[in-house]
Each structure stands twice: as structure tokens, then as C-alpha cells.
Homo-oligomer: A and B are copies of this chain.
Amino acid sequence: MDSRRILNKKIPDSTVRRLSHYLRSLEGFEGEGGTVSSEELAARGQTTAAQVRKDLSHFGSFGKRGLGYRVEELRERLGTILGVDRTWRVALVGAGRIGLALFEYPALRSRGYECVAIFDSDLEKVGCLWGDLPIRGPEEFESTLSELDVELVILAIPAAGAQDMAARAVEVGVKGILNFAPIRLNLPPAVSVEDVNLVMELEALSFSITQKEQEG
């Protein structure tokens, strides 16, 4: 069965996260050429074997009962499903500290996310080089994204300018946005958005701790 078949159902976010974990686990197995059981994948992903089988069943049939999954085949198919069997051309908007941390994060390039352009509105930064890439001003935004066929934008700017830059990116064909700005972007449903909001992560932690204290 083709794991690229059209899916009519929404795959839960939690399933997608676990697929990423399974793929990481399988990379640890690479080169051994053997098989892996749903129990082994479950143990590494801190879930259950039944959950592993259910997660994978969204995408067709994998493996054989009692024989497990062929590591190399499952790794390739998970790569295809997650869209990491190819290179994604990424623009970074915001050359501040978070932008720099992302730019220098080695796992991004090794996973196929290639930063091809950097933008900042600060005139003192425009023209500086990060590696081989010049920091460009916002007036070059649309033309650069088009010329370089950028598909993903990482928004690492304050809330104030984020909606505007996101809308401009979508206008020239950007399909996905990783948003570090602490606002909810209002974009057409065809655009994929993932929010990373550090305050909300900390609030989720303090919520959880507060709840547990009350229960205890």
C-alpha cells in the first residue's frame, strides 16, 4: 500500500510527534539491517506497542505480525510520511538571539531544513553575514522568497510585526510557518503553522505542577 495515498482524516498532532520519535529511534538502528518490533519502538518512544501499531496503521500496512518491521523500510516510509525525504528551503525572519540559536542548530540542516535567506528590519544588521548568507532588509522579502523558492518561514520576531510578515510570506507562496512570535497568526487554512511559545510552555508546566499539588 502506498504511504503517500490521499488521507481524508486528520491525523492527531500527538501521533505526528510519536512518528518523529519512532523515526529518531530507527535512526539509532540504522545499518544493522534487521527488524524492530512494535514493543521495541514503544519502549524507546515511551508508549505502548498497541499505540505504535495504531499510529502506523493510519498510513497503510507495515510489517508482518510476529516478524516486526524491517528497520530500513520503516525508516524510509516514515521519512516519506513526515516529508523529510527531501530538502525544505527555509527563510529565517528575525536575526536576534533566538534566530541565531536556530540558525546554528546543527540538527536543522542535517534533517533537510536548509536556511537560504535571513531577514531583519534592523538597519545595523542588514548586510551583515551569517555564514555565507547576508541579512536582508524587509524590502527584499517578497522578491527573495520568490527567487529562492522558499517554502518554509521561521518567524523569530516580536509579536508586533509577525502577522504582517506571515501574510506577506503566504502571499508569495510560502506553505508553512514556524512561529516563535507570541501571537496567533491569522492565515488561510491551506497554510500550515506550528507555534513555539516559550511562555505558554512554562505556563503549561506551572499549571501541571499546581494541579498536582492540589491533588496531592
Contacts and interface: CB of A to CB of B under 8 A. Distances in A.
Interface of A: 4-8, 11, 13, 16-17, 19-21, 23-24, 45-46, 81-84, 88, 96-98, 100-102, 104-105, 107-108, 111, 113, 151-152, 175-178, 182, 184, 186, 190, 192-194, 196-212, 214-216
The 9 A-B pairs at the shortest CB distance, nearest first, are namely A83-B206, A83-B210, A192-B208, A97-B101, A176-B205, A20-B200, A98-B101, A194-B201, A175-B209
A46 B184 contact: yes
A152 B4 CA distance: 42
A105 B198 contact: yes
B100 A204 contact: no
A205 B193 CA distance: 7
A24 B184 CA distance: 11
Nearest to A7: B211
A176 B208 contact: yes
Contacts of A45: 184
Contacts of A104: 97
A7 B83 contact: no
24 contacts: A4-B214, A7-B211, A11-B207, A17-B200, A20-B197, A20-B199, A20-B203, A23-B203, A84-B203, A97-B101, A98-B101, A108-B199, A108-B202, A111-B199, A111-B203, A113-B202, A152-B202, A152-B205, A152-B209, A175-B212, A176-B209, A190-B212, A192-B205, A194-B205
Nearest to A8: B215
Given A107-B199, A184-B46, A214-B6, A209 B97 contact: no
A23 to B, nearest CB: 8
Given A102-B198, A192-B208, A182 B107 contact: yes
Contacts of A19: 203, 207
Contacts of A216: 190
A204 to B, nearest CB: 5
A176 B16 contact: no
